[in-house]
Amino acid sequence: MAMVELISALLGSVVGVILALTGAGGAIIAVPLLVFGLHLAVAQAAPIGLLAVALSAALGAVLGLRAGIVRYKAASFIAVTGMLISPAGVWASQRLPNAPLTLLFAAVLMLVSYRMFRQPGAQYDGERIGAGADVPCALDGATGRLVWTLPCARALAASGVSAGFLSGLLGVGGGFVVVPALRRATRLPMQSIVATSLAVIALVSMSGVAYSVASGQMNWRIAIPFAAGALGGLIAVRPLARRLAGPHLQRGFAVIATVIAMGLAIKVAVQ
C-alpha cells in the first residue's frame, strides 16, 4: 500500500474511533483531518468525508432499526428534503474559493464544539431532555407515533434543507442540525432522536456522494482507504464505547475540535 493510501486509512480509523466514542457529531472531524493530514482543499476533502460519514451513519442506522428506535417515516421525510438540496451544496463547494469555504467550515466546527461542550452527555441519555409542553410534532398517546401536522412537516423539512445543503457544501453529516431540530420539534427519547438522525445522515450523505461521483469530484485513491479505515475503527471500538464514552470525553473532543477550528482559520490567514 502506497504512503498516501496508508495515511488515508489511518486518518479514517481515527474518525471511526471518534465516531464510536462521541457519536455522529464526531464525523465533522473527517474533513479537517484530510486537510491537515493530506493537504487537501476543503472542496476536495468534502466528498471523501461524506462517503465515510454515509457508511458509518448507515451502520448506526441499521443497528437502530434492529433495535426499533428509528422513526423511519420522519427520517425519510427529512432525508428527502435534504437529498433534494444536497447536490446544490456540492455544486457550490466546487465553485467557492478555498479560503472562505475553509473559514465557513471552521465556524461550523466551532458551533458543534460549543454544543458538545455544553451538553456532553445528551446523546447517551435514554429520556427526552428539555421536552416542552408545546412542540410542532406531538406524539399520539395511544400509539406513541408522531402526529403529522403542517407545523410538524415545516419544522422537519427545514432541518432537512439545512442538513442537506451543509452536507453537500462541507462534507459533514448534518447531525448537528437534525438532532437539535428533532429535540425542539418532538418529545422523542434521545436514543430515538440520535438513531433517527443517523438514518437521515446516511440517506442525505449518499445523495451528496452520488452527485460527487457523477460530477467526477471523488478521489477514490484516498476515499476508499479512508472510508474503510473509518468503518474499521468504528466497528473495533464500538463494543467498548459505552464504557469509555462519557461527558468528560465529549468535552475533551469539543476542546480538540475548537483547536482544529482555530488551526483552519490560522491556515487561511497565513496563506
User: Could you tell me if 61 and 198 are in contact, meaning their C-beta atoms sit under 8 angstroms apart?
Assistant: yes
Q: For residue 153, which phi and psi values (nearest 5 degrees)?
A: -60, -40
Alpha-carbon Rg for the chain in angstroms: 18
Q: What is the pLDDT of residue 171?
A: 82
User: Could you tell me if 184 and 190 are in contact, meaning their C-beta atoms sit under 8 angstroms apart?
Assistant: no
User: Could you tell me if 171 and 47 are in contact, meaning their C-beta atoms sit under 8 angstroms apart?
Assistant: yes
Q: What is the pLDDT of residue 198?
A: 85
Residue 99: which H helix or E strand, with range? Answer: helix 98-118
Dist. CA 271–CA 143, nearest whole Å: 57
Helix %, strand %, coil % of the chain (to 5): 80, 0, 20
Q: What is the pLDDT of residue 126?
A: 45
Nearest by Cα to 231 from 19, 65, 3? 19
Q: What is the pLDDT of residue 146?
A: 87
Nearest by Cα to 32 from 113, 109, 96, 115? 109
For the chain, which residues score pLDDT lower than 70? 1, 22-26, 119-133, 241-242, 244-246
Q: What is the pLDDT of residue 241?
A: 66
| Structural domain that includes position 94 | 3-270
Number of domains in the chain: 1
Nearest by Cα to 20 from 196, 177, 236? 236
- Nine cell digits for residue 210: 452520488
User: Could you tell me if 227 and 12 are in contact, meaning their C-beta atoms sit under 8 angstroms apart?
Assistant: yes
Q: What is the pLDDT of residue 72?
A: 87
Q: What is the pLDDT of residue 80?
A: 93
Q: For residue 125, which phi and psi values (nearest 5 degrees)?
A: -75, 135
